[in-house]
Amino acid sequence: MDIARIVPEYHITLDPITGIVAEEREDLIMFSLVPIENQLDILEDVADDLINSLTPDKPLLSSYAGREDASRIAGFYANLFYGLVIGLVIAFMAAMMIIKMRGGL
């Protein structure tokens, strides 16, 4: 919170954000929060990126442009692969059960 001293001799200040003119008091300590606001902006971006990582169609903070659907496409192909492998294992087991029931091999 930055303030402008209008009349330093009489300790009159102006808050430029709200437009309030007030008397400066010696029993109050005021700190500038501008450096903390910059750190909070960075923290807010990281928190938004964490939330965006939960949905596959949102862009991530450190990703290149045009990579919004990369997680969705990668998930599709990974699930396709795992489904194929599990399906082949089940088909192999079913074939072995059929062969064993017929008395083959």
* Cross-strand partners of 14: 4, 21
Bridge partners for 4 per DSSP = 14
Kindly indicate the confidence band of residue 104, based on its pLDDT and cuts at 50, 70 and 90.
low
Beta carbons within 8 Å of 29's beta carbon, 6+ residues apart: none
Summarised one tens digit per residue, pLDDT across range 61-83 is 777 777 777 778 888 999 999 99
How confident is residue 93, by pLDDT bands cut at 50, 70 and 90? very high
Amino acid identity, position 12: I
pTM for this model (two decimals): 0.46
